[in-house]
Structure 1
Amino acid sequence: MTESRRAILLAVLLGGMGTLHFLVPKPFDRLIPRQLPGNARTWTYASGAGELGTALLVAVPRTRRFGALLAALLFVAVFPGNVKMALDAKTTPSKVAAYARLPFQWPLVKWALRVSDRRN
């Protein structure tokens, strides 16, 4: 896969997830730790806007390196929310799915870092 294609796919992933934060916010609201100030929906919309902005930065070659670094940080930052989702899961299938999802966060970080690497 070419580096440009890898970057565009990352931008599409980020853009799709960011869009879902606005179209279907309720599942994302449940990921927001209660300790954060304000209401969960505000954090859901803010994180969705962050994903959309990061997607745009990754999609544009001139800002791709910076955007990909932000994407890597974003993937690390949302990990606690994914852990919270796993801990809060009520049914066995949702617990299995949530815990199975956790290890996939690290390949996303690696993918973003690879896109940010100018040597590739």
Structure 2
Amino acid sequence: MRVMAAAPLTAKIVGLATVFVTSGVVHLVRPQVFEPIVPRSLPARRELVYASGVAEIVCATGLLVPATRSAAGWGSATLLVGVLPANVQMSVSAYRRMRRRPEDRRRQLTFAGTLVRLPLQWPLIRVALSATGR
């Protein structure tokens, strides 16, 4: 079996780890913020929020350690793809709230922010994959 050398620790990988730690801690401390974006078809919303928060912290830690960076890169990319439905749900929910009060500037900005966030998943996934060393 051939062992691959760890991908170098880049500023982008450190940035992704920082995003994951920050988000993971918020998931654990304020899970109610994330519960509404868990797709309705999924059970146990709070538990899923906690699990995703722990997964983010584990991925962040793994990205920073050379011996686990490759596996953490794969796990991070998988996690980012896995939470994409929640990000889509966030946009759908923000759109519905905005439609109820279309003159509300705050709701307009919130909806716009959720739309801007969606395509940002792809560069984050690319950074995660760069950590795999492949």
Please state whether the residue corresponding to 2:10 is helix, strand or coil: helix
> TM-score with structure 2 length normalisation?
0.80
RMSD value, Cα: 1.6
Aligned to 1:88: 93
Relative contact order higher in (CA < 8 Å, ≥ 6 apart)? 2
Query: Following the alignment from structure 2 to structure 1, what is the Cα–Cα distance between the partners of residues 74 and 129?
Result: 6
For 1:63-119, what per-residue CA distance to the aligned partner results, in whole angstroms no more than 9, with x for missing partners?
A: 10000111011111111110000000122111111111111000000011112125x
Query: Following the alignment from structure 2 to structure 1, what is the Cα–Cα distance between the partners of residues 59 and 75?
Result: 7
Residue 16 of structure 1, CA deviation: 1.3
Give 1:99's aligned amino acid: L
Aligned to 1:12: 18
**Which residues of 2 match residues 49-68 of structure 1 at below 5 A?**
49-68=54-73
CA contact (8 A) 2:72 2:131 kept: no
Aligned to 2:115: 99
Structure 1: 5+ residue stretches without partners:
none
Please state whether the residue corresponding to 2:14 is helix, strand or coil: helix
Query: Following the alignment from structure 1 to structure 2, what is the Cα–Cα distance between the partners of residues 45 and 3?
Result: 30
